[in-house]
Amino acid sequence: MSIRCTVESAFFIAWSFLEQSGELGPPDETAHTILDAIEAQLRTGERRQLMLANKAIGDYRKQVAQSRLLAERQIRLG
């Protein structure tokens, strides 16, 4: 399977999961986060679609949690 197909499949898996779980955020931000995570893993040699998707989901969740914490801190300081 080509790298392009691998990326597309991993992206679709991650996106679909986040959509079905109700966690999908703004489309542009979500897409960038997922693709960045997949790209970073590809650089390390990972090619398994499910591993790519799972790591991308985890990275997305971490980013969302960090954004929420930052927003809460700003509100408290605000």
The 10s digit of each residue's pLDDT in 42-51 is: 999 999 999 9
Q: pLDDT at position 74, please?
A: 84
User: In Å, what is the CA distance from 9 to each residue of 20, 52, 70, 77?
Assistant: 16, 9, 32, 42
With beta carbons less than 8 A apart as the criterion, state whether 8 and 52 touch. no
Tell me the C-alpha distance between 59 and 62, whole Å: 5
What percent of the chain lies above the pLDDT cut of 90? 87
Q: pLDDT at position 2, please?
A: 93
Computed over every residue of the chain, the mean pLDDT equals 95
Instruction: Average the pLDDT over 34-62 and give the result.
Output: 98
* pTM of the full structure: 0.90
**C-alpha torsion angle, residues 34, 49, 15, 12 (rounded to 10):** 120
Q: pLDDT at position 75, please?
A: 85
Q: pLDDT at position 73, please?
A: 86
Tell me the C-alpha distance between 33 and 78, whole Å: 28
